[in-house]
Structure 1
Amino acid sequence: MKNNSYRTIWISDLHIGSTQCQADVLLDFLKYNDSEKLYLVGDIIDFWALSKKMYWPREHNTVIQKILRKARRGTHIIYIPGNHDENVRDYDSYIFGDIIVKNSDIHTTAGNKRFLIVHGDEYDTIAQHHQWIAKLGSDGYDILVELNRVIKAVRRYFGVNSHFSLAAYIKYKVKNAVQFISDYEENIVHTLKKENVDGVICGHIHHAEMKEIDQFLYINTGDFVESCTAIVEHFDGRLELIHWTEVNHEDVID
Protein backbone atom coordinates (compact mmCIF):
# COMPACT_ATOMS: atom_id res chain seq x y z
CA MET A 1 0.00 0.00 0.00
CA LYS A 2 1.36 3.44 -0.93
CA ASN A 3 1.66 6.28 1.54
CA ASN A 4 -0.99 8.99 1.39
CA SER A 5 -0.10 12.63 1.88
CA TYR A 6 -2.56 15.29 3.02
CA ARG A 7 -2.60 18.93 4.04
CA THR A 8 -4.37 18.12 7.32
CA ILE A 9 -5.57 15.05 9.23
CA TRP A 10 -8.02 14.94 12.14
CA ILE A 11 -8.32 11.91 14.44
CA SER A 12 -10.02 11.66 17.82
CA ASP A 13 -11.16 9.27 20.53
CA LEU A 14 -8.16 6.98 20.36
CA HIS A 15 -8.63 6.00 24.04
CA ILE A 16 -5.01 4.98 24.49
CA GLY A 17 -4.64 3.30 27.88
CA SER A 18 -7.96 1.46 27.64
CA THR A 19 -8.91 -1.92 26.24
CA GLN A 20 -11.15 -0.08 23.75
CA CYS A 21 -8.25 1.29 21.70
CA GLN A 22 -7.67 -0.47 18.37
CA ALA A 23 -3.95 0.26 18.47
CA ASP A 24 -3.08 -2.09 15.62
CA VAL A 25 -5.47 -0.34 13.22
CA LEU A 26 -4.36 3.08 14.47
CA LEU A 27 -0.69 2.23 13.91
CA ASP A 28 -1.51 1.06 10.40
CA PHE A 29 -3.29 4.36 9.73
CA LEU A 30 -0.40 6.43 11.10
CA LYS A 31 2.07 4.40 9.03
CA TYR A 32 0.39 5.00 5.68
CA ASN A 33 -0.95 8.54 6.15
CA ASP A 34 1.15 11.69 6.51
CA SER A 35 0.16 15.36 6.68
CA GLU A 36 1.52 18.83 7.15
CA LYS A 37 -0.79 19.29 10.14
CA LEU A 38 -2.30 16.67 12.45
CA TYR A 39 -5.11 17.41 14.91
CA LEU A 40 -5.61 15.08 17.87
CA VAL A 41 -9.21 15.96 18.68
CA GLY A 42 -9.59 14.73 22.26
CA ASP A 43 -9.87 11.53 24.29
CA ILE A 44 -6.42 10.62 23.05
CA ILE A 45 -5.30 9.13 26.37
CA ASP A 46 -8.11 7.62 28.46
CA PHE A 47 -7.36 8.77 32.00
CA TRP A 48 -10.81 7.55 33.13
CA ALA A 49 -9.84 4.00 32.22
CA LEU A 50 -6.31 4.32 33.62
CA SER A 51 -7.71 5.55 36.96
CA LYS A 52 -9.56 2.23 37.30
CA LYS A 53 -6.96 -0.16 35.91
CA MET A 54 -3.43 0.27 34.61
CA TYR A 55 -3.47 -0.95 31.03
CA TRP A 56 -0.62 0.07 28.76
CA PRO A 57 0.47 -2.64 26.30
CA ARG A 58 3.47 -2.23 24.02
CA GLU A 59 1.30 -1.20 21.06
CA HIS A 60 -0.01 1.81 22.98
CA ASN A 61 3.53 2.95 23.69
CA THR A 62 4.33 2.50 20.00
CA VAL A 63 1.38 4.76 19.08
CA ILE A 64 2.74 7.55 21.31
CA GLN A 65 6.23 7.11 19.85
CA LYS A 66 4.85 7.18 16.30
CA ILE A 67 3.00 10.46 16.93
CA LEU A 68 6.06 12.04 18.59
CA ARG A 69 8.22 10.91 15.65
CA LYS A 70 5.86 12.64 13.23
CA ALA A 71 6.18 15.83 15.29
CA ARG A 72 9.98 15.64 15.27
CA ARG A 73 9.96 15.19 11.49
CA GLY A 74 8.00 18.38 10.96
CA THR A 75 4.30 17.53 11.23
CA HIS A 76 2.52 20.39 13.03
CA ILE A 77 0.58 18.52 15.72
CA ILE A 78 -2.17 20.16 17.77
CA TYR A 79 -3.68 18.33 20.73
CA ILE A 80 -7.26 19.35 21.58
CA PRO A 81 -8.11 17.62 24.92
CA GLY A 82 -11.45 15.92 25.54
CA ASN A 83 -13.38 14.81 28.60
CA HIS A 84 -11.42 11.57 29.10
CA ASP A 85 -8.16 13.57 29.09
CA GLU A 86 -9.61 16.79 30.52
CA ASN A 87 -6.63 17.33 32.86
CA VAL A 88 -4.60 18.25 29.79
CA ARG A 89 -6.85 21.32 29.39
CA ASP A 90 -4.92 22.92 32.24
CA TYR A 91 -1.95 23.19 29.84
CA ASP A 92 -3.61 25.30 27.13
CA SER A 93 -0.93 26.74 24.78
CA TYR A 94 1.86 24.61 26.31
CA ILE A 95 4.20 22.67 24.01
CA PHE A 96 5.16 19.11 24.93
CA GLY A 97 7.64 17.29 22.70
CA ASP A 98 6.83 19.48 19.67
CA ILE A 99 3.08 18.98 20.24
CA ILE A 100 1.05 22.06 21.15
CA VAL A 101 -1.99 21.80 23.43
CA LYS A 102 -5.00 23.98 22.58
CA ASN A 103 -8.44 23.73 24.14
CA SER A 104 -9.85 24.79 20.76
CA ASP A 105 -8.49 26.06 17.49
CA ILE A 106 -9.53 27.65 14.20
CA HIS A 107 -8.37 25.89 11.04
CA THR A 108 -8.57 27.54 7.62
CA THR A 109 -8.61 25.12 4.70
CA ALA A 110 -6.88 25.65 1.36
CA GLY A 111 -10.35 26.58 0.08
CA ASN A 112 -10.60 29.36 2.72
CA LYS A 113 -13.25 27.64 4.83
CA ARG A 114 -12.89 28.31 8.55
CA PHE A 115 -13.56 25.48 11.00
CA LEU A 116 -13.71 25.52 14.78
CA ILE A 117 -11.86 22.48 16.14
CA VAL A 118 -13.16 21.21 19.50
CA HIS A 119 -13.55 17.80 21.11
CA GLY A 120 -17.28 18.37 21.53
CA ASP A 121 -18.08 17.33 25.10
CA GLU A 122 -18.57 21.05 25.77
CA TYR A 123 -21.84 20.74 23.80
CA ASP A 124 -23.00 17.48 25.41
CA THR A 125 -25.40 18.33 28.25
CA ILE A 126 -24.89 14.95 29.93
CA ALA A 127 -21.09 15.27 29.91
CA GLN A 128 -21.30 18.84 31.20
CA HIS A 129 -23.96 18.55 33.89
CA HIS A 130 -24.29 14.87 34.77
CA GLN A 131 -20.74 13.50 34.66
CA TRP A 132 -21.65 10.51 36.83
CA ILE A 133 -24.10 9.39 34.14
CA ALA A 134 -21.41 9.88 31.50
CA LYS A 135 -18.98 7.73 33.50
CA LEU A 136 -21.65 5.07 34.07
CA GLY A 137 -22.31 5.05 30.34
CA SER A 138 -18.56 4.73 29.73
CA ASP A 139 -18.47 1.62 31.95
CA GLY A 140 -21.34 0.07 29.98
CA TYR A 141 -19.57 0.95 26.76
CA ASP A 142 -16.43 -0.87 28.02
CA ILE A 143 -18.52 -4.02 28.55
CA LEU A 144 -19.88 -3.84 25.00
CA VAL A 145 -16.34 -3.44 23.65
CA GLU A 146 -15.17 -6.54 25.56
CA LEU A 147 -18.15 -8.55 24.25
CA ASN A 148 -17.30 -7.32 20.79
CA ARG A 149 -13.85 -8.92 21.03
CA VAL A 150 -15.51 -12.32 21.44
CA ILE A 151 -17.90 -11.66 18.54
CA LYS A 152 -15.04 -10.60 16.27
CA ALA A 153 -13.07 -13.74 17.15
CA VAL A 154 -16.08 -15.93 16.28
CA ARG A 155 -16.68 -14.05 13.02
CA ARG A 156 -12.99 -14.40 12.12
CA TYR A 157 -13.14 -18.15 12.85
CA PHE A 158 -16.06 -18.59 10.44
CA GLY A 159 -14.41 -16.44 7.77
CA VAL A 160 -16.80 -13.51 8.17
CA ASN A 161 -15.55 -9.91 8.05
CA SER A 162 -14.34 -9.29 11.62
CA HIS A 163 -14.69 -5.48 11.39
CA PHE A 164 -17.89 -5.34 13.40
CA SER A 165 -18.82 -3.10 16.32
CA LEU A 166 -21.48 -4.28 18.75
CA ALA A 167 -21.52 -0.86 20.43
CA ALA A 168 -22.05 0.89 17.10
CA TYR A 169 -24.76 -1.60 16.09
CA ILE A 170 -26.68 -1.03 19.31
CA LYS A 171 -26.14 2.74 19.09
CA TYR A 172 -27.73 2.90 15.63
CA LYS A 173 -30.61 0.57 16.55
CA VAL A 174 -31.67 1.97 19.93
CA LYS A 175 -34.03 4.92 19.52
CA ASN A 176 -32.69 6.92 22.49
CA ALA A 177 -29.10 6.58 21.27
CA VAL A 178 -30.05 7.73 17.79
CA GLN A 179 -31.91 10.69 19.31
CA PHE A 180 -28.87 11.56 21.43
CA ILE A 181 -26.68 11.74 18.33
CA SER A 182 -29.22 13.94 16.57
CA ASP A 183 -29.60 16.23 19.60
CA TYR A 184 -25.83 16.52 19.96
CA GLU A 185 -25.37 17.48 16.30
CA GLU A 186 -28.18 20.03 16.39
CA ASN A 187 -27.01 21.54 19.68
CA ILE A 188 -23.44 22.05 18.51
CA VAL A 189 -24.59 23.57 15.22
CA HIS A 190 -27.19 25.83 16.89
CA THR A 191 -24.55 27.06 19.34
CA LEU A 192 -21.83 27.73 16.79
CA LYS A 193 -23.53 28.76 13.56
CA LYS A 194 -23.58 32.43 14.60
CA GLU A 195 -19.82 32.37 15.11
CA ASN A 196 -17.53 33.55 12.34
CA VAL A 197 -16.84 30.04 11.05
CA ASP A 198 -18.12 27.85 8.22
CA GLY A 199 -18.33 24.72 10.31
CA VAL A 200 -17.10 22.62 13.19
CA ILE A 201 -14.84 19.57 13.32
CA CYS A 202 -15.28 17.55 16.51
CA GLY A 203 -15.32 14.06 18.00
CA HIS A 204 -16.69 12.80 21.33
CA ILE A 205 -19.71 10.70 20.32
CA HIS A 206 -17.85 8.05 18.26
CA HIS A 207 -20.06 8.65 15.25
CA ALA A 208 -18.26 9.80 12.11
CA GLU A 209 -20.25 12.21 9.97
CA MET A 210 -19.93 14.91 7.32
CA LYS A 211 -23.05 16.91 6.57
CA GLU A 212 -24.53 20.36 6.26
CA ILE A 213 -27.04 21.51 8.87
CA ASP A 214 -28.67 24.93 8.35
CA GLN A 215 -25.88 25.94 5.93
CA PHE A 216 -23.29 25.03 8.57
CA LEU A 217 -20.83 22.16 8.07
CA TYR A 218 -20.93 19.57 10.84
CA ILE A 219 -17.99 17.17 10.69
CA ASN A 220 -17.26 14.46 13.24
CA THR A 221 -14.01 12.52 13.12
CA GLY A 222 -15.47 9.35 14.61
CA ASP A 223 -12.99 7.24 16.59
CA PHE A 224 -10.41 4.48 16.66
CA VAL A 225 -12.51 2.26 18.91
CA GLU A 226 -15.57 1.35 16.82
CA SER A 227 -15.34 2.73 13.31
CA CYS A 228 -11.62 3.58 12.92
CA THR A 229 -12.26 6.77 10.97
CA ALA A 230 -10.47 10.03 10.25
CA ILE A 231 -11.09 13.30 8.45
CA VAL A 232 -8.48 14.46 5.94
CA GLU A 233 -7.98 17.66 3.97
CA HIS A 234 -6.52 17.31 0.50
CA PHE A 235 -4.14 19.97 -0.77
CA ASP A 236 -6.95 21.55 -2.82
CA GLY A 237 -9.07 22.02 0.32
CA ARG A 238 -11.44 19.06 -0.13
CA LEU A 239 -12.39 17.32 3.09
CA GLU A 240 -12.86 13.56 3.14
CA LEU A 241 -14.09 11.04 5.68
CA ILE A 242 -11.94 7.91 5.64
CA HIS A 243 -13.07 4.57 7.07
CA TRP A 244 -9.63 3.05 7.46
CA THR A 245 -10.71 -0.57 7.97
CA GLU A 246 -12.66 -0.32 4.73
CA VAL A 247 -10.34 2.15 2.96
CA ASN A 248 -13.53 3.86 1.82
CA HIS A 249 -13.27 7.25 0.08
CA GLU A 250 -16.89 7.97 -0.76
CA ASP A 251 -17.71 10.94 1.52
CA VAL A 252 -16.19 14.14 0.16
CA ILE A 253 -16.97 17.84 0.71
CA ASP A 254 -15.52 20.42 -1.65
Structure 2
Amino acid sequence: MKKKREIPLVVLSDIHLGTYGCHAKELLHYLKSINPKTLVLNGDIIDIWSFTKSYFPAAHMNVLRQILKMSNQGTRVIYITGNHDEALRKYSDLILGNFELVDKLILELDGKKTWIFHGDVFDSSTKGYAKIIAKLGGKGYDLLILINSLINWFLVLLGKEKRSYSKMIKDSVKKAVSFVSNFETTAAEIAIQKNYSYVVCGHIHKPQMKEIANENGKVLYLNSGDWIENLTALEYKKKKWSIYQYKKEEYIGNDNKDEDIINDIVTKILSED
Protein backbone atom coordinates (compact mmCIF):
# COMPACT_ATOMS: atom_id res chain seq x y z
CA MET A 1 0.00 0.00 0.00
CA LYS A 2 1.25 3.47 -0.85
CA LYS A 3 2.33 5.82 1.91
CA LYS A 4 -0.40 8.25 2.90
CA ARG A 5 -0.03 11.80 1.62
CA GLU A 6 0.50 14.35 4.38
CA ILE A 7 -1.75 17.37 3.72
CA PRO A 8 -2.30 20.30 6.11
CA LEU A 9 -5.89 20.91 4.99
CA VAL A 10 -8.47 19.01 2.92
CA VAL A 11 -11.98 20.27 2.11
CA LEU A 12 -14.78 17.95 0.98
CA SER A 13 -18.42 18.77 0.34
CA ASP A 14 -21.61 17.44 -1.21
CA ILE A 15 -20.92 13.76 -0.58
CA HIS A 16 -24.64 12.99 -0.14
CA LEU A 17 -24.27 9.77 1.82
CA GLY A 18 -27.55 7.88 1.72
CA THR A 19 -28.29 8.56 -1.95
CA TYR A 20 -27.84 6.33 -4.98
CA GLY A 21 -25.53 8.81 -6.68
CA CYS A 22 -22.90 8.92 -3.92
CA HIS A 23 -19.53 7.44 -4.89
CA ALA A 24 -18.76 6.21 -1.39
CA LYS A 25 -16.31 3.49 -2.40
CA GLU A 26 -14.18 5.95 -4.36
CA LEU A 27 -14.29 8.45 -1.51
CA LEU A 28 -13.18 5.77 0.93
CA HIS A 29 -10.16 5.03 -1.28
CA TYR A 30 -9.28 8.73 -1.23
CA LEU A 31 -9.72 9.13 2.53
CA LYS A 32 -7.50 6.11 3.18
CA SER A 33 -4.78 7.61 0.96
CA ILE A 34 -4.39 10.88 2.90
CA ASN A 35 -3.38 12.01 6.37
CA PRO A 36 -4.71 15.57 6.72
CA LYS A 37 -3.98 17.73 9.73
CA THR A 38 -7.44 19.26 9.28
CA LEU A 39 -10.38 17.79 7.36
CA VAL A 40 -13.25 20.18 6.61
CA LEU A 41 -16.57 18.60 5.63
CA ASN A 42 -18.31 21.54 3.99
CA GLY A 43 -21.97 20.54 4.01
CA ASP A 44 -24.33 17.99 2.47
CA ILE A 45 -22.24 15.12 3.80
CA ILE A 46 -25.20 13.02 4.95
CA ASP A 47 -28.25 13.62 2.78
CA ILE A 48 -30.93 13.85 5.45
CA TRP A 49 -33.45 15.10 2.86
CA SER A 50 -33.26 11.76 1.04
CA PHE A 51 -32.38 9.56 4.01
CA THR A 52 -34.25 6.28 4.41
CA LYS A 53 -33.49 3.26 6.57
CA SER A 54 -33.86 1.08 3.49
CA TYR A 55 -30.88 2.64 1.70
CA PHE A 56 -27.66 3.27 3.59
CA PRO A 57 -25.15 0.73 2.20
CA ALA A 58 -22.11 -0.59 4.01
CA ALA A 59 -19.83 1.53 1.79
CA HIS A 60 -21.58 4.69 3.00
CA MET A 61 -21.24 3.62 6.64
CA ASN A 62 -17.57 2.83 6.04
CA VAL A 63 -16.97 6.43 4.95
CA LEU A 64 -18.34 7.65 8.29
CA ARG A 65 -16.23 5.08 10.14
CA GLN A 66 -13.11 6.22 8.29
CA ILE A 67 -13.77 9.87 9.15
CA LEU A 68 -14.22 8.95 12.82
CA LYS A 69 -11.04 6.87 12.68
CA MET A 70 -9.12 9.83 11.26
CA SER A 71 -10.48 12.03 14.05
CA ASN A 72 -9.44 9.48 16.69
CA GLN A 73 -5.96 9.33 15.17
CA GLY A 74 -5.41 13.09 15.48
CA THR A 75 -7.02 14.74 12.44
CA ARG A 76 -9.09 17.80 13.31
CA VAL A 77 -12.47 17.15 11.66
CA ILE A 78 -14.75 20.16 11.17
CA TYR A 79 -18.27 19.46 9.92
CA ILE A 80 -19.97 22.53 8.41
CA THR A 81 -23.70 22.09 7.94
CA GLY A 82 -25.34 22.42 4.51
CA ASN A 83 -28.93 22.46 3.33
CA HIS A 84 -29.28 18.67 2.93
CA ASP A 85 -27.99 18.14 6.49
CA GLU A 86 -29.48 21.30 8.00
CA ALA A 87 -31.18 19.23 10.73
CA LEU A 88 -27.75 19.18 12.39
CA ARG A 89 -27.72 22.98 12.74
CA LYS A 90 -29.48 22.81 16.09
CA TYR A 91 -26.31 21.14 17.39
CA SER A 92 -23.95 23.80 15.98
CA ASP A 93 -20.83 24.67 17.97
CA LEU A 94 -20.65 21.13 19.34
CA ILE A 95 -17.10 19.96 20.09
CA LEU A 96 -16.28 16.32 20.82
CA GLY A 97 -12.53 15.71 20.99
CA ASN A 98 -11.13 16.43 17.53
CA PHE A 99 -14.63 16.72 16.01
CA GLU A 100 -16.42 20.07 15.64
CA LEU A 101 -19.86 20.89 14.21
CA VAL A 102 -20.34 24.47 12.96
CA ASP A 103 -22.36 26.49 10.43
CA LYS A 104 -19.38 28.40 9.03
CA LEU A 105 -15.66 28.58 9.60
CA ILE A 106 -12.90 31.16 9.54
CA LEU A 107 -9.33 29.88 9.41
CA GLU A 108 -5.99 31.61 9.09
CA LEU A 109 -3.75 29.88 6.57
CA ASP A 110 -0.19 31.16 6.51
CA GLY A 111 -1.38 34.60 7.57
CA LYS A 112 -4.33 34.71 5.15
CA LYS A 113 -7.93 34.78 6.37
CA THR A 114 -10.06 32.00 4.91
CA TRP A 115 -13.86 31.96 4.95
CA ILE A 116 -15.45 28.52 4.55
CA PHE A 117 -19.20 27.90 4.35
CA HIS A 118 -21.51 25.63 2.35
CA GLY A 119 -23.19 28.30 0.22
CA ASP A 120 -26.90 27.44 0.36
CA VAL A 121 -27.52 30.87 1.92
CA PHE A 122 -27.22 32.31 -1.61
CA ASP A 123 -29.69 29.88 -3.17
CA SER A 124 -33.41 30.67 -3.07
CA SER A 125 -34.22 27.12 -4.19
CA THR A 126 -33.38 25.98 -0.63
CA LYS A 127 -35.80 28.44 1.01
CA GLY A 128 -39.55 28.30 1.76
CA TYR A 129 -41.85 26.52 -0.69
CA ALA A 130 -39.01 26.16 -3.17
CA LYS A 131 -37.21 24.09 -0.55
CA ILE A 132 -40.15 21.66 -0.34
CA ILE A 133 -40.17 21.35 -4.13
CA ALA A 134 -36.41 20.78 -4.12
CA LYS A 135 -36.79 18.00 -1.53
CA LEU A 136 -39.40 16.24 -3.65
CA GLY A 137 -37.16 16.70 -6.66
CA GLY A 138 -34.28 15.07 -4.81
CA LYS A 139 -35.96 11.66 -5.10
CA GLY A 140 -36.34 12.15 -8.83
CA TYR A 141 -32.70 13.15 -9.10
CA ASP A 142 -31.69 9.89 -7.41
CA LEU A 143 -33.69 7.98 -10.04
CA LEU A 144 -32.12 10.09 -12.76
CA ILE A 145 -28.64 9.22 -11.47
CA LEU A 146 -29.51 5.51 -11.66
CA ILE A 147 -30.82 5.82 -15.22
CA ASN A 148 -27.77 7.90 -16.19
CA SER A 149 -25.48 5.20 -14.75
CA LEU A 150 -27.20 2.49 -16.81
CA ILE A 151 -26.95 4.57 -19.98
CA ASN A 152 -23.25 5.20 -19.35
CA TRP A 153 -22.69 1.48 -18.75
CA PHE A 154 -24.06 0.76 -22.23
CA LEU A 155 -22.07 3.65 -23.75
CA VAL A 156 -18.84 2.25 -22.29
CA LEU A 157 -19.69 -1.20 -23.72
CA LEU A 158 -20.11 0.45 -27.10
CA GLY A 159 -16.77 2.22 -26.72
CA LYS A 160 -18.33 5.67 -26.48
CA GLU A 161 -17.82 8.52 -23.99
CA LYS A 162 -19.95 8.83 -20.87
CA ARG A 163 -22.59 11.57 -20.79
CA SER A 164 -23.93 13.43 -17.76
CA TYR A 165 -27.61 13.86 -18.61
CA SER A 166 -28.47 14.24 -14.93
CA LYS A 167 -26.10 17.16 -14.58
CA MET A 168 -27.51 18.90 -17.65
CA ILE A 169 -31.06 18.51 -16.38
CA LYS A 170 -30.18 19.56 -12.83
CA ASP A 171 -28.38 22.65 -14.13
CA SER A 172 -31.49 23.60 -16.09
CA VAL A 173 -33.73 23.09 -13.05
CA LYS A 174 -31.40 25.13 -10.87
CA LYS A 175 -31.58 28.02 -13.32
CA ALA A 176 -35.36 27.84 -13.28
CA VAL A 177 -35.81 27.90 -9.49
CA SER A 178 -32.90 30.03 -8.34
CA PHE A 179 -32.82 33.83 -8.18
CA VAL A 180 -29.06 33.85 -7.64
CA SER A 181 -27.55 35.31 -10.81
CA ASN A 182 -23.98 34.42 -10.03
CA PHE A 183 -23.08 32.28 -7.03
CA GLU A 184 -19.34 32.71 -7.41
CA THR A 185 -19.46 36.49 -7.80
CA THR A 186 -21.80 36.90 -4.83
CA ALA A 187 -19.54 34.84 -2.56
CA ALA A 188 -16.46 36.70 -3.78
CA GLU A 189 -17.95 40.18 -3.34
CA ILE A 190 -18.91 39.49 0.28
CA ALA A 191 -15.49 37.94 0.97
CA ILE A 192 -13.76 41.02 -0.47
CA GLN A 193 -15.89 43.28 1.74
CA LYS A 194 -14.82 41.25 4.77
CA ASN A 195 -11.13 41.34 3.73
CA TYR A 196 -10.76 37.59 3.30
CA SER A 197 -8.01 36.21 1.08
CA TYR A 198 -9.84 32.95 0.33
CA VAL A 199 -13.53 32.03 0.16
CA VAL A 200 -14.35 28.32 0.05
CA CYS A 201 -17.82 27.00 -0.83
CA GLY A 202 -19.64 23.86 -1.92
CA HIS A 203 -23.34 23.48 -2.74
CA ILE A 204 -23.34 24.00 -6.53
CA HIS A 205 -21.36 20.83 -7.37
CA LYS A 206 -18.91 22.74 -9.57
CA PRO A 207 -15.23 22.43 -8.57
CA GLN A 208 -13.49 25.72 -9.14
CA MET A 209 -10.43 27.76 -8.25
CA LYS A 210 -10.18 31.28 -9.64
CA GLU A 211 -9.32 34.81 -8.62
CA ILE A 212 -12.23 37.24 -8.65
CA ALA A 213 -11.59 40.98 -8.46
CA ASN A 214 -13.67 44.14 -8.30
CA GLU A 215 -13.05 47.80 -7.51
CA ASN A 216 -12.70 46.97 -3.80
CA GLY A 217 -10.09 44.24 -4.06
CA LYS A 218 -9.67 40.59 -4.96
CA VAL A 219 -10.16 37.13 -3.50
CA LEU A 220 -9.41 33.54 -4.46
CA TYR A 221 -12.74 31.75 -4.87
CA LEU A 222 -12.69 27.96 -4.39
CA ASN A 223 -15.35 25.29 -4.64
CA SER A 224 -14.75 21.69 -3.59
CA GLY A 225 -17.22 20.18 -6.07
CA ASP A 226 -18.94 16.94 -5.06
CA TRP A 227 -18.78 13.14 -4.85
CA ILE A 228 -21.79 12.52 -7.06
CA GLU A 229 -20.31 13.28 -10.47
CA ASN A 230 -17.06 15.26 -10.17
CA LEU A 231 -15.37 13.29 -7.33
CA THR A 232 -13.24 16.24 -6.23
CA ALA A 233 -11.67 17.77 -3.14
CA LEU A 234 -9.69 20.88 -2.28
CA GLU A 235 -6.20 20.43 -0.86
CA TYR A 236 -4.05 23.14 0.75
CA LYS A 237 -0.34 22.41 0.97
CA LYS A 238 2.83 24.51 0.92
CA LYS A 239 0.80 27.75 0.83
CA LYS A 240 -1.03 26.66 -2.33
CA TRP A 241 -4.51 25.39 -3.12
CA SER A 242 -5.21 22.64 -5.63
CA ILE A 243 -8.25 20.72 -6.83
CA TYR A 244 -7.90 16.96 -6.45
CA GLN A 245 -9.91 14.77 -8.82
CA TYR A 246 -10.32 11.07 -8.19
CA LYS A 247 -8.76 8.79 -10.79
CA LYS A 248 -9.61 5.11 -10.56
CA GLU A 249 -6.25 3.98 -11.93
CA GLU A 250 -4.44 5.53 -8.95
CA TYR A 251 -6.11 3.04 -6.62
CA ILE A 252 -5.86 -0.19 -8.60
CA GLY A 253 -4.58 -2.92 -6.30
CA ASN A 254 -5.45 -1.01 -3.14
CA ASP A 255 -7.48 -2.39 -0.26
CA ASN A 256 -10.58 -4.15 -1.59
CA LYS A 257 -11.42 -5.83 1.71
CA ASP A 258 -14.98 -4.46 1.87
CA GLU A 259 -15.75 -5.68 -1.64
CA ASP A 260 -14.35 -9.11 -0.80
CA ILE A 261 -16.54 -9.36 2.30
CA ILE A 262 -19.65 -8.45 0.32
CA ASN A 263 -18.76 -10.98 -2.39
CA ASP A 264 -18.31 -13.68 0.26
CA ILE A 265 -21.72 -12.91 1.77
CA VAL A 266 -23.43 -12.97 -1.63
CA THR A 267 -21.72 -16.26 -2.52
CA LYS A 268 -22.81 -17.79 0.80
CA ILE A 269 -26.44 -16.70 0.32
CA LEU A 270 -26.55 -18.03 -3.24
CA SER A 271 -25.10 -21.37 -2.18
CA GLU A 272 -27.78 -21.93 0.47
CA ASP A 273 -30.97 -23.79 -0.40
TM-score by length of 2: 0.80
SS in 1 for 2:22: coil
Quick one: distance in 1 between partners of 2:104 and 2:133? 25
CA offset digits 1:123-177 (Å, max 9, x no partner): 1122235312432443443232112210232234345566x53333556789948
Structure 1 residues 1-254: aligned runs within 5 Å: 1-50=2-51, 54-96=54-96, 98-110=98-110, 112-129=111-128, 130-158=130-158, 165-170=164-169, 176=175, 183-214=182-213, 215-234=218-237, 236-245=238-247
Structure 1 window deviating more from structure 2 (129-138 vs 190-199): it is 129-138
Counterpart amino acid of residue 154 in structure 1: F
Cα deviation, 1:33-56, whole Å, max 9, x if unaligned, reads 2210000000010011115x6311
Amino acid at match of 1:117: I
Query: How far apart are the structure 1 equivalents of 2:140 and 2:180?
Result: 17
Note closer, same or farther for the CA distance 1:137–1:191 as it changes in structure 2 (3 Å cut).
Answer: farther
- Whose Rg is larger? 2
Change (3 A) 1:158 1:16: same
SS across alignment from 2:145: helix
Amino acid at match of 1:165: S
1:74, distance to aligned residue in structure 2 (A): 0.1
How far apart are 1:15 and its partner, in Å?
0.5
Answer yes or no: is the 8 Å Cα contact 1:222–1:228 preserved in 2.
Answer: yes
CA contact (8 A) 2:41 2:79 kept: yes
CA spacing shift, 1:46–1:246, aligned 2, 3 Å: same
Q: CA RMSD in A?
A: 2.6
Contact 1:127–1:134, Cα closer than 8 Å, also in 2: yes
Number of residue pairs matched by the alignment: 243
The amino acid that maps onto 2:229 is E
Q: Match of 1:13, SS?
A: coil
Equivalents in 2 of 1:239, 1:135: separation in Å?
A: 33
Task: Say whether the 8 Å CA contact 2:123–2:180 is kept in structure 1.
Answer: no
Deviation at 1:243, TM superposition (A): 1.0
Distance in 2 (CA, whole Å) between partners of 1:32 and 1:106 is 26
Partner in structure 2 of residue 251 of structure 1: none
State how far apart, in whole Å, the 1-side matches of 2:22 and 2:14 are.
9
Deviates more, 1:212-221 or 1:148-157: 148-157
Q: Is the 8 A contact 2:123 2:179 kept in 1?
A: no
Contact 1:200–1:219 (8 Å) recurs in 2: yes
Q: Distance in 1 between matches of 2:54 and 2:63?
A: 17
Q: Which runs of 5+ in 1 are unaligned?
A: 249-254
Structure 1 residues 76 and 161: alpha-carbon distance in aligned structure 2, compared to 1, 3 A threshold: farther
Name the amino acid aligned to 1:237: K
What CA distance in whole angstroms lies between the structure 1 residues aligned with 2:173 and 2:61? 35
